[in-house]
A = this chain, B = another copy of it.
Amino acid sequence: MRGAVLYGPRDVRFEERDEPRISKPTDAVIRIAAACVCGSDLWPYRGIQPVDQPTAFGHEYCGVVEEVGSSVTKVKPGQFVVGSFFASDNTCPICQAGYQSSCVQREIVLGAQAGRLRVPLADGTLVATPGMPSEDLIPSLLAASDVLGTGWFAADAANVKPGGTAVVVGDGAVGLLAVLSAKQMGAGRIIAMSRHQARQKLAREFGATEIVTERGDAGVARIKELTAGLGAESVLECVGTQESMMQAIRAARPGGHVSYVGVPHGVQLDGAGLFFAHVHLHGGPAPVRQYLPHLIDLIWNRKINPGKVFDLTLPIEQVAEGYRAMDERRAIKALLRPEARP
């Protein structure tokens, strides 16, 4: 089987890898229907996060179960399933509280940019769709695996409420789907911070009511201006840099909620500054598993179309071009079609 392997900065190769196998009784092996490149893959791709050794990449996936371990009872071969980047047992107290991405047994899932994938803790991790999806639903089901689930967590963690005002910092796929999520949760105003025309357009399609192109101090001033000088009730930080984090915190009103869902890189928060900002702060690896049943339902019934974030589709052997296009911001998100699909 061939799959994507990251060797170092800007060095992604599509090459022969070991065939995934059931190694524990709780595993499943799935045949990938579609994979993709994640914004978070760009940190190691750009060399900002070091890669010590050649690493199989890709952690977003959906596809058909081929084989399950002897103790797997909740999914079976032939079912179409969606999972997420952390495998979880979905039974421990942390999972039960809705934080599956910090499950006591959690395991990172890696290597999804390939034809087949081993998924640990299959019973807890995978959610089956009601049947075999039609072709047009596949991009959206793939989005549910990470970027949609992460955008949904951003909206949930920022306490987006019906009629409230939500500001989204970041116009990557997660930011755009955070807009969609805030819309689904009934936000009355959704202000997307973006200076990129194609992304602004998609943000509006997903439910943004206003666009702010300014950043930093000017961006914060503009949000204050739009919110009677107070700042927003909910601010969704979907980037992970010092600048975006401070922009998010400063755009929130005292007592407001700031969520952050991209792994922070080099972010330092001053305790006293945060204290007087008086905000709620919540974030971390999105517990996508918590939301999957609901998200699959919304997609299956065509209430939402998150798959629109994929504006580039490539055969998987061109995975390196997918990384390049996202790195250069030529594409919002690249979908990869496996060589032999289910």
Contacts and interface: CB of A to CB of B under 8 A. Distances in A.
Contact of A97 (B255, B267, B282): B255
A97 B242 CA distance: 28
Given A229-B104, A269-B269, A285 B281 contact: no
Given A93-B253, A99-B255, 15 more contacts: A93-B228, A94-B254, A97-B253, A99-B278, A104-B229, A255-B287, A264-B271, A264-B272, A265-B272, A267-B270, A267-B271, A268-B271, A276-B284, A278-B285, A281-B281
SS class of chain A's interface: helix, strand, loop or mixed?
mixed
Contacts of A276: 284-285
Nearest to A245: B271
B254 A99 contact: yes
B281 A280 contact: yes
B270 A98 contact: no
B267 A94 contact: no
A101 interface: yes
Contacts of A278: 99, 101-102, 284-285
Interface in A249-302: 253-255, 260, 263-272, 274-285, 287
A269 B284 CA distance: 14
Contact of A102 (B245, B254, B284): B254
Contacts of A242: 271
Interface residues of A, number: 41
Nearest to A253: B94
B272 A263 contact: yes
B102 A255 contact: yes
A1 interface: no
A198 interface: no
Given A280-B280, A281-B281, A98 B272 contact: no
A142 to B, nearest CB: 24
Contact of A284 (B230, B264, B270, B275): B275
Contact of A274 (B97, B101, B104, B269): B269
A275 B271 contact: no
Given A229-B104, A254-B94, A285 B275 contact: yes
Contacts of A271: 240, 242, 245, 260, 264-269
